[in-house]
């Protein structure tokens, strides 16, 4: 049986690759996992009662685009957080951001651009669904380095005009996974202008926007409104996985222009999987409540301070401005991850597993991604062992 050639060059996903690298070797101590970005802070205490009270909702088909109450709660949060007012026809509930980031590309990226094969831009390193979405629609993925030289955000404007004129979609993550860089108001403004000049759409992956170090990250919807951008130029994706410590709920949303949302809704009515009604009720309550978010943020800010203290004086160390990963410089990420595992039992992810080689270089090769999701004391033990093993 033949398989689709468009996916034939996909590497193994990051975590199967990590298991191949580490699992043939015994850990050098008590295992401390700092690999996956799965929040471990307490979920809101109102989740279980709401789920129990609405359990009968599993007996009916759910609203495809989100219930009116859920969309109203999402719109209310966007207004509180970003000062932007959106109608329900500018929103769609999602099964987490990954589903939305993938299907939005299918819904909005045309088969050709200016008579040529389309291009989909993405930072490098990046969330791997961006590349699979591009391949699914027959576009050329363009991996744009997001390195220290560019402030760990991609410099799309530096690409040749001939490439930019073929772009249909540009993915951007802020705060960035894995580096934690935050796009400024100026960065968003310039990207919106570039999208207008070369006629492409921005998919802003902002699922880490509620985890920040010193100031709430600027949102692209806020900037788009302030500069008078075409609402169809940008679509913002958010999730309750990180904001509310509910990765298993698989609940998020996309917000943007009415025409684009209508196209996404049409596709979803044929091929999507709407969020079950009890989960929509939980999601509604989460978007209406900010107190649990503030409590979780305080825990992350304690962790940022602990990481600062542990790595104080380490050349090349930068605590993130947002998100919950450290992006630590090493000579070789795979070698460092294996050494750390064999000598201490601390498990981290080589940065190369989140990147692709482009122009002969992999921008993640000399880094480790370290998740700050464990309880503070466990996280501190892991970071101290990492420091002493790799930088001592």
**Helix or strand run (H / E) with residue 234:** strand 234-239
* Predicted local distance difference test score (pLDDT) of residue 12: 87
Helix axes 333-344 and 376-390, enclosed angle (nearest 10): 110
What pLDDT, on the 0 to 100 scale, is given for residue 321?
A: 96
| The predicted structure's pLDDT at residue 358 | 86
pLDDT at 159: 98
Q: How far apart are CA 164 and CA 159, in angstroms?
A: 7
User: SS3 letters for 326-376?
Assistant: EEEECCCHHHHHHHHHHHHCEECEEHHHHCCCECCECCCCCEEEEECCCCH
Tell me if residue 72 falls in helix, strand or coil: helix
**What are 361's two structure tokens?**
């270089």
Pairwise CA distance, residues 302 & 309, whole Å: 11
Q: Which residues contact 113 (CB under 8 A, 6 or more apart)?
A: 119, 165, 166, 167, 168
Q: What integer pLDDT is reported at residue 7 of this predicted model?
A: 87
Which pTM was predicted? 0.97
Alpha-carbon gap, residue 178 to 344, rounded angstroms: 23
State the Cα–Cα distance between residues 70 and 280, nearest whole angstrom. 6
* Phi, psi dihedrals of residue 329, rounded to the nearest 5°: -75, 135
What is the per-residue pLDDT for 1?
80
The two tokens of residue 270 are: 């044929």
Can you name the residues that pair with 91 across neighbouring β-strands? 255
How many beta carbons lie within 10 A of that of residue 263, not counting itself?
15
pLDDT in tens, the chain (392 residues): 888 888 888 888 999 999 999 999 999 999 999 999 999 999 999 999 999 999 999 999 999 999 999 999 999 999 999 999 999 999 999 999 999 999 999 999 999 999 999 999 999 999 999 999 999 999 999 999 999 999 999 999 999 999 999 999 999 999 999 999 999 999 999 999 999 999 999 999 999 999 999 999 999 999 999 999 999 999 999 999 999 999 999 999 999 999 999 999 999 999 988 999 999 999 999 999 999 999 999 999 999 999 999 999 888 898 999 999 999 999 999 999 999 999 999 999 999 999 999 888 999 999 999 999 999 999 999 999 999 999 98
CA-based angle 140:258:284, to the nearest 5? 100
Residue 329 gets the label, from left (phi > 0), alpha (psi -120 to 50) or beta, of beta
Contact 333, 367 (CB under 8 A): yes
């Amino acid at each position: 049986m033949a398989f689709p050639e468009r996916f034939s060059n996909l590497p193994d996903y990051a975590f199967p690759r990590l298991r191949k690298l580490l699992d043939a070797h015994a850990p050098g101590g008590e295992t401390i996992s700092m690999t996956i970005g799965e929040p471990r802070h307490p979920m809101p205490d109102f989740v279980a009662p709401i789920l129990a009270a609405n359990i009968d909702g599993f007996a009916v088909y759910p609203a495809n685009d989100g219930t009116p109450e859920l969309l109203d709660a999402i719109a209310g949060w966007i207004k509180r957080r970003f000062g932007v007012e959106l109608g329900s026809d500018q929103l769609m509930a999602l099964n987490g951001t990954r589903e939305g980031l993938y299907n939005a590309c299918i819904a909005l990226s045309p088969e050709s651009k200016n008579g040529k094969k389309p291009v989909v831009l993405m930072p490098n390193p990046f969330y791997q669904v961006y590349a699979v979405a591009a391949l699914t629609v027959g576009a050329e993925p363009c991996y744009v380095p997001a390195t220290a030289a560019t402030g760990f955000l991609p410099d799309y404007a530096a690409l040749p005009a001939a490439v930019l004129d073929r772009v249909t979609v540009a993915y951007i993550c802020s705060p960035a996974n894995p580096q934690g860089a935050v796009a400024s108001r100026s960065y968003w403004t310039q990207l919106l202008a570039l999208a207008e000049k070369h006629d492409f759409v921005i998919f802003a992956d902002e699922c880490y926007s509620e985890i920040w170090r010193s100031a709430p990250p600027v949102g692209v919807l806020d900037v788009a409104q302030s500069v008078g951008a075409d609402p169809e130029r940008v679509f913002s994706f958010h999730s309750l996985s990180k904001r509310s410590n509910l990765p298993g709920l698989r609940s998020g949303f996309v917000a943007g222009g009415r025409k684009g949302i209508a196209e996404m809704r049409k596709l979803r009515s044929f091929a999507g999987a709407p969020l079950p009604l009890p989960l929509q009720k939980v999601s509604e309550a989460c978007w209406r409540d900010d107190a649990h978010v503030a409590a979780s943020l305080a825990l992350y800010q304690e962790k940022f301070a602990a990481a600062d203290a542990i790595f104080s004086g380490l050349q090349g160390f930068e605590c993130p401005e947002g998100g919950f990963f450290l992006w630590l410089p090493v000579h070789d990420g795979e070698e460092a991850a294996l050494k750390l595992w064999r000598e201490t039992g601390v498990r981290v992810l080589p940065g190369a597993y989140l990147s692709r080689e482009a122009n002969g270089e992999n921008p993640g090769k000399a880094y480790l991604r370290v998740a700050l999701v464990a309880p503070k004391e466990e996280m501190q033990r892991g970071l101290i062992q990492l420091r002493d093993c790799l930088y001592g």
